[in-house]
Structure 1
Amino acid sequence: MQFDAIILAGGRSSRLGGVPKSGLIFDGATLLERSLRAADAAGHIVVVGPDPGDLPSGVLSCREEPRFAGPAAAIAAGLGALAASRAGRPGAAAAPPFVLVLACDMPRAAAAVSALREAVAAVPGADRGGDRTDGVMAVASDGRKQPLVALYSTAALQRCASDAARRGSLENASVFALLARLDVREVSVPPGSTDDVDTWGDAAALGVSGVIPNPGPGSGPELPS
């Protein structure tokens, strides 16, 4: 199936003392590197957040406006960056039918992405845009929906983002509010594949490590690398 990918790597990481989640380490790679691997079948990838430094060749980067405006604004920024990149290429190829939205704080997300791709592939014509599905969203084993591990119809998600931008309702909006008008199918994904890192306790439980530079009071423990 054809898809682009938006990797969300922003946020304040307030419960991690401001330490960027993207740079934490799991199994020898940063969480951003693992997210890029999970999305490596995408035609084009954009990372939305602070300057991530060196990225693989061809991977785009951008920032939501205003900074720290939340995941809905970051998704809209990612869609804009992908559209601008397509427009700048010879032949101006059409957008692929789907776009993967993936937060970078889930170290085992690759298994969830695989399950989502299999779910889309099982729908006749969906991978070519022939089915009217608005997308598929990961659902954890405890029933929690995870809108930041999902494959959405590119056209449908773009309409939602454009409508929200016209209403001035992107900044600090929830992702569920952005998606309210979409008919998104729920897909059960492997246990643990959507577990995320919000606190140092989460990091320790998931086997994620990292070092807080110049840790201060209340900023959390220094984790072993």
Structure 2
Amino acid sequence: MDVVAYDTIILAGGRARRLDGISKPDVLLHGHRLLDYSLRATTAARRRVVVGPPTLTVPPDVLHTQEHPAHGGPVAGIDVGLAMLDRHRRSADRPDLPVLVLACDIPHVATALPRLLAAYQDPAIRPADGAFLVDPDGRAQWLAAVYRPEGLRRALAALAADAGIRDASVRRLTAHLDLRPVPVEGAEGTDIDTWADHARLDTLLTTAALTTAVRTPVAAPAPAPGPIPAPAGGSADPRPTMIT
């Protein structure tokens, strides 16, 4: 099956009340920002846009925008992110590339993306509007999903005409769409909403790193440095220096 080209909207706003109101995308997990995990997971995207406050640092090849006024909720973020992708489309670009919508607080999602994209292009499910991750307990991860852009625009327009986009729930947005579930494997869909969530994922990464270290022969060459290596000792203080 051919590799699917896609665009990405990374949602990196929100008030993060259960994380003491700090900037969630800047929270550190094993020495790297949560936003960095999302950026690394989506390096194959044609275009990426981060929707979040202007204080965020993003790579030069990544678009950056924010809903106005700020803190308008994920649906408002999807709306401005899609508009930003549309504004930066070149004449030679395909207008129908799928759009991956990804919350910035799902650090293990990278391994699920190939299955999401495969489900999207599966002839058996076309012309569905996309595919989303679903946890073992049946909880839908609407912000770890691949959408057809025309379906997303249609759903946003319907929601805007009804109750408005600002502060709308993603569940109301997806009620206008025909989406297919893709089961998560392991911790792929685990998000970080609280410091307890952060501690669990930190422990998981520490255990994985220690297991890898034990299984690696002493004489083995060191791996090439990557954007997000997992240190064996766990995270230091995960709170960003700047409080927003």
Normalised TM-score (structure 2): 0.78
Q: In the alignment, which residue of structure 2 is the partner of 1:148? A: 143
The equivalent of 1:219 in structure 2 is none
Structure 2 counterpart SS, 1:148: strand
Q: Is the Cα contact below 8 Å between 2:9 and 2:78 reproduced in 1? A: yes
Q: Which has the larger radius of gyration?
A: 2
Residue aligned with 2:101, SS:
strand
Q: Deviations over 1:48-89 (max 9, x none)?
A: 010254322321011012211100111001001111111xx3
Structure 1 partner of 2:199: 204
Give, in whole Å, the separation in 1 of the partners of 2:69 and 2:47: 24
**What amino acid is aligned across from residue 107 of structure 1 in structure 2?**
P
Describe how 1:104-115 pairs up with structure 2 within 5 A. Answer: 104-115=104-115
Pair 1:85 & 2:113 matched:
no
Structure 1: unaligned runs, 5 residues or longer: 216-225
What SS is found at the alignment partner of 1:47? strand
1:218 counterpart residue number: none
Q: Which runs of 5+ in 2 are unaligned?
A: 203-234
AA paired with 1:38? A
- Partner amino acid, structure 1, of 2:67: E
Among 22, 43, 47, which residue is 1:44 paired with? 47
Q: Which amino acid aligns with 2:101?
A: V
Alignment match, 2:182: 187
Instruction: Name the structure 2 match of 1:12.
Output: 15
Aligned match of 2:227: none
**Is 1:60 aligned to 2:49, yes or no?**
no
Structure 1 residue 164 displacement after superposition: 2.3
* Alignment of structure 1 residues 64-75 onto 2, 5 Å: 64-75=67-78
C-alpha distance in structure 2 between counterparts of 1:117 and 1:81, whole Å: 22
Aligned pair count reads 207
1:143 Cα deviation after fit: 1.6
Distance in 1, matches of 2:83 and 2:242, equals 36
- Given that 2:133 and 2:182 are in contact with CA atoms closer than 8 Å, whether structure 1 keeps it comes out as yes
Partner of 2:232: none
What is the CA–CA distance in structure 1 between the aligned matches of 2:137 and 2:98, rounded to whole Å? Answer: 26
Runs of 4 or more, structure 1, over 4 Å off, are 212-215
Q: Which amino acid aligns with 1:83?
A: D
Residue 124 (str. 1) matches residue 123 (str. 2): yes
If the length of structure 1 is used for normalisation, what is the TM-score? 0.84
